[in-house]
Amino acid sequence: MSFECITMVKKERLARVTINRPDKLNALNIKTVEELIEAFTDLGNDDSVGVVILDGAGGKSFAAGADIGELARLDMIEGKAFAARGHRLCNLIENLGKPVIAAVGGFALGGGCEIAMACTLRVASDKARLGQPEINLGTMPGYGGTQRLARLIPRGVAMEMVLTGRILKADEALQIGLVNRVVPHEQLEEAVMEMAVALLSKPPFALKANMEAVLHGTDLSLEDGFRLEANLFAMTCGTEDMKEGTKAFLEKRDANFKGR
Identify which of 141, 135, 102, 139 has the alpha carbon closest to the alpha carbon of residue 118.
102
Minimum CB distance to ligand COA smaller for 47 or for 78: 78
Residue 109 makes contact with ligand COA by CB under 6 A: yes
Which position among 8, 64, 89, 128 is part of the footprint of ligand COA (CB under 6 A)?
64
Binding letters toward ligand COA, positions 127-156, x by CB under 6 A: ------xx--x-------------------
Is the distance from CB of 144 to CB of 86 less than 8 angstroms? yes
Backbone φ and ψ for 167, nearest 5 degrees, come out as -95, 130
DSSP class of 28: B
Stretch that binds ligand COA, among 66-74, 77-85, 176-184, 217-225 (CB under 6 A): 66-74
Is residue 189 among the annotated active site residues? no
Which position among 86, 110, 144, 145 is part of the footprint of ligand COA (CB under 6 A)?
110
Annotate 217-248 with b (16+ C-beta within 10 A) or e (fewer): beeeeeeebeebbeebeeebeebebbebbeee
Stretch that binds ligand COA, among 77-85, 104-112, 151-159, 228-236 (CB under 6 A): 104-112
Which position among 68, 140, 150, 193 is part of the footprint of ligand COA (CB under 6 A)?
68
Beta strand spans in the chain (E): 6-11, 14-19, 51-56, 61-63, 100-104, 107-109, 121-125, 129-131, 168-169, 181-183
134, 223, 244, 251: the catalytic one is 134
Residue 6 makes contact with ligand COA by CB under 6 A: no
Stretch that binds ligand COA, among 21-29, 79-87, 155-163, 239-247 (CB under 6 A): 21-29
Is the distance from CB of 30 to CB of 36 less than 8 angstroms? no
Residue 79 makes contact with ligand COA by CB under 6 A: no
Query: Distance between CA atoms of 38 and 1, rounded to whole angstroms?
Result: 9
Give the interface with ligand COA as residue ranges (CB under 6 A). 24-25, 27, 64-69, 71, 107, 109-110, 133-134, 137
